[in-house]
Amino acid sequence: MAAGPRPTGWVAMRLGFALWLLVLFGAAAAVAEQRAGPADAQPAGRAADSVDLALVLVTDVSRSIDDTEFTLEKQGYAAAFGNPAVLQAIKGGAAGAIAVAYVEFASSFEVRTVLDWTVIGDAASAQGFADRLQAAPRSYWGRTSISAGIDRGMQILAESGFTATRRAIDVCGDGTNNAGREVTEARDDALHAGVSINGLAIINDHPVSWTYAHVQPPGGLAKYYRDNVTGGAGSFVLEVHDFRSFGEAMTRKLVSEIAAVPPDGRWATR
């Protein structure tokens, strides 16, 4: 005997349940897609990026650098990244982009990655990096552990995930290593890993008595940097005697690092 028609309420209930399942599965799929992103997407500035240079700017903010000098440093960095010569050097590379991170150090336990990796390939990205750098407050005022700054630079280079033709650490400071492990040990570890280290030695021509040996080592600070801090293929040291010329020196330094050509002779030390 054929079954009679189902009650209207039962059919409506089954249809409602089916619609509820469709909505539930659709929402779950949307959430999963939002979390995963497109199939070929990679986190910004990471393994998907190929750059000509991965560069860590490692800057001394120890107590021998006063707040006025620190401000001039930051302004100098901003001016350098906004300079057309730097942008031209970046665009002249095979990838047309570099990756930059910024670290401040004082003593061995006072090291901070102020700005993590930023890919710079045009004026907008360069200006954005410069603006964030200028806005960041000073990190420390302690002693001077160049070795700790280099070690942090090596750490974030290892973790960057970039495919980089060259890797370099750019050390900027006004004194010798007087805290943490021997700076030559940190330098040698970096060189063995294929990372070059360049230096910008800020010469204090009028040191106070208690900082004299620190900022005016035998033979001068530039020699100290050459002998103990810098090394690797094409490495060099620039020196400046005035924080107000820091931006111009940093511009020349960046152009040399990005283009892999020696700096001119105005600040370069042999």
How much is the mean pLDDT over the chain? 83
pLDDT tens profile 212-260? 788 889 999 999 999 999 999 999 999 998 777 889 999 999 999 999 8
Residue 225 belongs to a domain: yes
Q: How far apart are CA 90 and CA 4, in angstroms?
A: 79
Please indicate whether residue 47 or residue 162 has the higher confidence score (pLDDT): 162
pLDDT tens profile 190-216? 999 999 999 999 987 777 766 778 888
Quote the number of domains for the chain.
1
Res 92 pLDDT > 50 = yes
Q: What confidence score (pLDDT) does residue 209 get?
A: 60
Query: CATH number of the domain that 104 lies in?
Result: 3.40.50.410
CA distances, 109 to each of 140, 143, 202, 229, 246 (Å): 10, 10, 23, 19, 27
Residue 163 belongs to a domain: yes
Looking at residues 142-164, what average pLDDT do you find? Answer: 96
Nearest to 121 by CA among 50, 180, 203, 56: 50
pTM: 0.80
Q: How far apart are CA 186 and CA 152, in angstroms?
A: 10
Q: How far apart are CA 76 and CA 94, in angstroms?
A: 27
pLDDT tens profile 31-58? 333 333 333 223 334 444 899 999 999 9
Which residues are registered as beta bridge partners of 102?
Answer: 57, 115
Residue 144 contacts by C-beta under 8 Å, 6 or more apart in sequence?
60, 62, 64, 105, 106, 107, 173, 175, 176, 177, 178, 179, 214
Residue 5 belongs to a domain: no
Residue 183 contacts by C-beta under 8 Å, 6 or more apart in sequence?
146, 147, 150, 177, 228, 229
Nearest to 149 by CA among 119, 109, 118, 99: 109
Residue 124 belongs to a domain: yes
Q: What confidence score (pLDDT) does residue 264 get?
A: 64
Please indicate whether residue 264 or residue 123 has the higher confidence score (pLDDT): 123
Residue 75 belongs to a domain: yes
Nearest to 178 by CA among 203, 142, 218: 142
Q: How far apart are CA 137 and CA 81, in angstroms?
A: 19
Q: How far apart are CA 90 and CA 74, in angstroms?
A: 21
Q: What confidence score (pLDDT) does residue 28 get?
A: 40
Structural domain boundaries, residue 239: 50-269
Q: What confidence score (pLDDT) does residue 196 get?
A: 97
Burial-class residue 120 by CB neighbours within 10 Å (0-12, 13-18, 19+): buried
Residue 34 belongs to a domain: no
Burial-class residue 36 by CB neighbours within 10 Å (0-12, 13-18, 19+): exposed
Comparing 8-22, 123-137, 161-175, 182-196, the range with the smallest average pLDDT is 8-22
Burial-class residue 25 by CB neighbours within 10 Å (0-12, 13-18, 19+): exposed
Residue 37 belongs to a domain: no
Q: What confidence score (pLDDT) does residue 30 get?
A: 38
Residue 3 belongs to a domain: no
Res 27 pLDDT > 50 = no
